[in-house]
Amino acid sequence: MKDTMSQAVIEAKGVNLVFETGDGPVQALKDVNLVVGRGEFVSFIGPSGCGKTTFLRAIAALEHPTGGTLTVNGMSPDEARMSRAYGYVFQAAGLYPWRTIAKNVSLPLEIMGFSKAEQADRVDRVLELVELKGFGRKFPWQLSGGMQQRASIARALAFDADILLMDEPFGALDEIVRDRLNEEVLKLWARTGKTICFVTHSIPEAVYLSTKIVVMSPRPGRITDVIDSPLPRERPLDIRDSREFIEIAHRVREGLRAGHGDAV
């Protein structure tokens, strides 16, 4: 495990990203340095506007840094995108209403030109992985919000990308559903060994899920703290009452407060 962990999957060196807007430039990311190792679960947390989404989008080559270097699997983000290095889960499930769940999940496979048999195979596999077995023939509107989001995770998993980028995937769901899905994401991570980057606004969520927590602060968006979690990989829900958990949560909160302090 140790030597695979040390392999850098995502590497940001002095990344800057400036948006040119109508009322002048907006510095969304300033001098961001970060290394994400293979198989890590990294959470990004910080107040609104601190550049979490922007950083994730830069990894996905949906935005392009204006300075510094960013590599994904040792390639440029654009090359990584073309080699299908990652699956991206957006805040909204974004399922097509005119497609069944199975057809939605196979959409990226169709686009990438997998054979029909291979598509069916993979759809079955990932639907089972997100515990939606038997829902393949349903339409999105027949599923709850949580189930839809699970389907969208299945879709991101379908083509074997070894990185999963998730931008507040459960932000729109209630606490109870969220807890369940968090548990499932952890199971999924353990089973698949993927590298996961996860944006969240919730401190408990970040601490519960991550091996590494990246605390960010706004204006300009930057990293103020990177916390390596000492929690074991195996995490029952009640780990959230342990002393270690509370200590890390405390450190994250302090980090967020400090970030706010020197921004004022």
Partner 1 sequence: MRSLAPIATVLAVIVALWYAAAVWMNAQWVYDQAARAGVEVTFGQMVVDTMAQERPVLPVPHQVFAELAKSTVGMAVTSKKSLVYHGWITISATLLGFAMGTGFGRLLAVGIIHNKAMDMSVMPWAIASQTVPILAIAPMIIVVLSSVGVQGLVPKAIISAFLSFFPVLVGMVKGLRSPDGMQLDQLATWNASRTQVFWKLRLPSSMPYLFASLKVGIAASLVGAIVGEMPTGAVAGLGARLLSGSYYGQTIQIWAALFAAAIVAASLVMIVGVIERATLKRMGMA
Ligand X SMILES: Nc1ncnc2c1ncn2[C@@H]1O[C@H](COP(=O)(O)OP(=O)(O)OP(=O)(O)O)[C@@H](O)[C@H]1O
Q: CB neighbours of 50 closer than 8 A, spacing ≥ 6?
A: 216, 217, 218, 221, 222, 259
Cβ contact 78:43 at 8 Å: no
For ligand X, the binding residue among 1, 24, 48, 111 (CB under 6 A) is 48
H or E element that contains 109 = helix 107-112
From ligand X, partner 1, Mg ion, none, interface partner of 62 (C-beta below 5 to 8 A by class): partner 1
158 or 203: CB nearest partner 1? 158
Does residue 221 bind ligand X (CB under 6 A)?
yes
Q: CB neighbours of 229 closer than 8 A, spacing ≥ 6?
A: 207, 210, 211, 212, 213, 248
36 or 199: CB nearest ligand X? 199
Does residue 119 bind Mg ion (CB under 5 A)?
no
135 or 198: CB nearest Mg ion? 198
83 backbone dihedrals φ, ψ, rounded to 5°: -95, 15
Structure tokens at 40: 């890590």
For ligand X, the binding residue among 19, 121, 144, 236 (CB under 6 A) is 19
Does residue 197 bind ligand X (CB under 6 A)?
no
Does residue 54 bind Mg ion (CB under 5 A)?
no
Q: What is the C-alpha to C-alpha distance for residues 96 and 78, in angstroms, rounded to an integer?
A: 26
Does residue 53 bind ligand X (CB under 6 A)?
yes
From Mg ion, partner 1, ligand X, none, interface partner of 175 (C-beta below 5 to 8 A by class): none
From Mg ion, partner 1, ligand X, none, interface partner of 77 (C-beta below 5 to 8 A by class): none
Residue 219 burial (10 A CB sphere; 0-12, 13-18, 19+): middle
54 or 210: CB nearest ligand X? 54
From ligand X, partner 1, Mg ion, none, interface partner of 253 (C-beta below 5 to 8 A by class): none
Instruction: Name the residue with the smallest CB distance to ligand X.
Output: 53
Q: Are strands 8-21 and 67-72 parallel, antiparallel or unpaired?
A: antiparallel
Q: What is the CB-side half-sphere exposure of residue 74 using CA atoms within 13 A?
A: 2
From Mg ion, partner 1, ligand X, none, interface partner of 48 (C-beta below 5 to 8 A by class): ligand X
Does residue 200 bind Mg ion (CB under 5 A)?
no
If we measure between CA atoms, which residue out of 95, 207, 206 comes closest to residue 146?
95
Cβ contact 51:216 at 8 Å: yes
Minimum distance between the CB of residue 242 and ligand X, rounded to whole angstroms? 28
Which residues contact ligand X by CB under 6 A? 19, 21, 26, 28, 46, 48-54, 221
